[in-house]
Amino acid sequence: MDKIAVLFLAAGYGSRLQRDINNDASGRFSHLKGVAKALLPLDGVPLISHWQRLLTSSSAADVDSFVICNEANYPQFKEWASSNSFPVENIFNDGSTANETRLGAVTDLALAIQKFDLARLDVSSGRAVYKAVLVIAGDTLFLKDFSLDAFLKLALSAKPIGKEPCFVTSYPVENEMDTLKTGIIETTDQDLFKFDTITVPRVTGLVEKPHPTETTSRLACPCFYFLSHPSLGLVKAFVDASLERGEGLESRDASGRFISALVKQHPVYAVPVSGRLDIGGLSSFISAEEYLQQAKKA
């Protein structure tokens, strides 16, 4: 069975959510003050634990999980790890202490790959220890019909003639103005990846939060990336190049910035999903909780 690393990007500060909680007159959500988004209780279970349940029960891959968080929330993650048989040494504190000094998702990704040595080779065989790194945003869950095993089987089936491909996911936005809230991918049917009865298109571009007039695509691309081993070195190269050009945090803040560059250098294919639960503010948290409660009754 192939071995992969799973990396949760959980170093954000959830500023909008915390602001909404502080402004909520009902006081119903005061217990969520200061709680990291990846640890928010959804249906009584921390968000990240929903993923861990899927990952530990996967029959498609042997999985090692890792978390990168900020210094402010590090104690929360250590406590979660201790209570959930998760190795504390697999949690890395990126050193940032406030939203204003955050490093950005792509920098965190590069740091975690280096800190946990996720691109390392086995000494005896010379092969990659991890065939790929699955990157998951700490504030995201997919809808109940999502099959992690089906996704992993597809991604791990790749037997490239050239570069080993990467995979992302996509779903259509509900209305066109939603493009302003997320990364939007552009694809082509001229290059398809086929597995079993599934055919998925190649990604040709990603635009972060575009106005609807800036792209004809309406395919949202959440931070759920299967990065093949050969692509991992491109993350640090992207960060280094951005810093050398003197670019600001914006160029490294959203994870999609890296995907936008990756598709120009490496084959990336988009696997369709029906949608996701994205915890941005308090209203989206409430909607996610309601969705999970209803799904449990169905």
Q: What structural domains does the chain harbor?
A: 3-297 (3.90.550.10)
Tell me what the pLDDT averaged over the chain comes to. 96
Assess contact for 130 and 4: CB atoms under 8 A. Answer: yes
What does pTM read for this prediction? 0.96
Phi-psi region at 242: left, alpha or beta (left = phi > 0; alpha = psi -120 to 50): alpha
Q: How far apart are CA 5 and CA 27, in angstroms?
A: 39
pLDDT at res. 117:
98
- How many CB atoms are located within 10 Å of the residue 141 CB? 23
Assess contact for 83 and 52: CB atoms under 8 A. Answer: no
pLDDT at res. 158:
86
**Cα radius of gyration (the chain):** 19
pLDDT confidence bin for 67, thresholds 50/70/90:
very high
Structure tokens at 155: 């991604």
pLDDT at res. 296:
82
Whether the predicted pLDDT of 12 surpasses 90:
yes
CA angle 188, 252, 137 (to 5 degrees): 70
Which residues, in sequence order, are CB contacts of 287 under 8 Å at separation 6+?
277
pLDDT at res. 160:
67
Structure tokens at 186: 């552009």
- Cα end-to-end span (Å), the chain: 34
Per-residue pLDDT tens over the stretch 202-230 = 999 999 999 999 999 999 999 999 999 99
Whether the predicted pLDDT of 260 surpasses 90:
yes
By residue count, the chain amounts to 298
Per-residue pLDDT tens over the stretch 73-117 = 999 999 999 999 999 999 999 999 999 999 999 999 999 999 999
pLDDT at res. 298:
73
